[in-house]
Structure 1
Amino acid sequence: MQTASSVSGTVIPMLSLADLPACPVETTLTLISDKWKVLILRDLMPGTKRFGELKKSIGHVSQKVLTSQLRQMEESGLLTRKVYAEVPPRVEYTLTDLGCSLKPIMDAMWTWGEQYQEQVRKCQDA
């Protein structure tokens, strides 16, 4: 696994080029195509959250699945995980600069979803 530095100087792990598809769209889908990953991105866009906050805001995701998704996103360089030496343990997740760069995509998905919901409303009202 390779690493890269974010603008803030934090070293983040990155997948190797050999692990990625040749098509940029497929690469993006590889990194965020899971339902939970998109919801994690949505919930971390405003800022840092603890594991419990993410689990509560996302809803019906098991602890095991959420942990797995967060680890995959960390390995992809989309977020960082900070563990505090406290009792009880505290873990916080924050999007990296790379993760934050997905904001325009998330905004476009939000807008498209609103438009789709409106079309469904119009069809049901007709």
Structure 2
Amino acid sequence: MTGGAEAGDGIIFKRSSCPITNGLNIFGDKWTLLVIRDLVLGKRRYADFISSPENIASNILADRLKRLETAGLVCRRVYQQKPVRYEYVLTEKGNDLKPVLEAISRWGKKHCPGTDVFRPVDPPALPVSKTGSTNSDFND
């Protein structure tokens, strides 16, 4: 897939066929992972993302949500008709990033003293394991 080969969902990998490189092409900047984190924690609406403590700028948020939708990680759906307003949910492909966030969270808790823990906004919306529980590394 070097030299501009195309993968699923219209994502073009220009640098190499390395899976880490290609993953970083999609979600490798600070803001994208934070938006995915917020989605995993149950945030769904634009105002929810804007209210996150990192203070993402509105134009950056709009860009990242669009990129995530184009990459097939997020689905946008209408929740209000007049005026039209959208909410965002992770697709199965997006939910597959939860272990990545859990690993980063474990690393941060271990190596960054004073790291704060984020609680789910809407616990039922969180992906649940086959055993019926959520992974405590991300939430606790």
TM-score over 0.5 for the pair? yes
In the alignment, what sits opposite 2:74?
Answer: 79
Matches within 5 A, 1:1-126: 14-16=9-11, 19-20=12-13, 21-47=16-42, 49-57=44-52, 59-118=54-113
Query: Whole-Å Cα distance in 2 between the matches of residues 73 and 106 of structure 1?
Result: 16
Distance change (3 Å), C-alpha of 1:61 and 1:27: same
TM-score (norm 2): 0.68
TM-score (norm 1): 0.75
Note the residue ranges of structure 2 that are not aligned, 5 or more in a row: 1-5, 115-140
Give the letter aligned to residue 95 of structure 1: L
Query: Whole-Å Cα distance in 2 between the matches of residues 100 and 58 of structure 1?
Result: 22
Query: Whole-Å Cα distance in 1 between the matches of residues 46 and 113 of structure 2?
Result: 33
Q: What is the CA deviation profile of residues 32-91 of structure 1, one whole-angstrom value per residue up to 9, with x for unaligned ones?
A: 111110001101013351111111125322111110111011000110111245233321
Contact kept in structure 1, 2:77 and 2:88, CA below 8 Å: yes
Note the residue ranges of structure 1 that are not aligned, 5 or more in a row: 4-13, 120-126
Contact kept in structure 2, 1:48 and 1:95, CA below 8 Å: no
Query: Whole-Å Cα distance in 1 between the matches of residues 98 and 68 of structure 2?
Result: 15
Give me the CA root mean square deviation.
Answer: 2.4
Could you tell me the percent identity over the aligned residues?
32
Contact kept in structure 2, 1:40 and 1:58, CA below 8 Å: no
Secondary structure of residue in 2 paired with 1:28 = helix
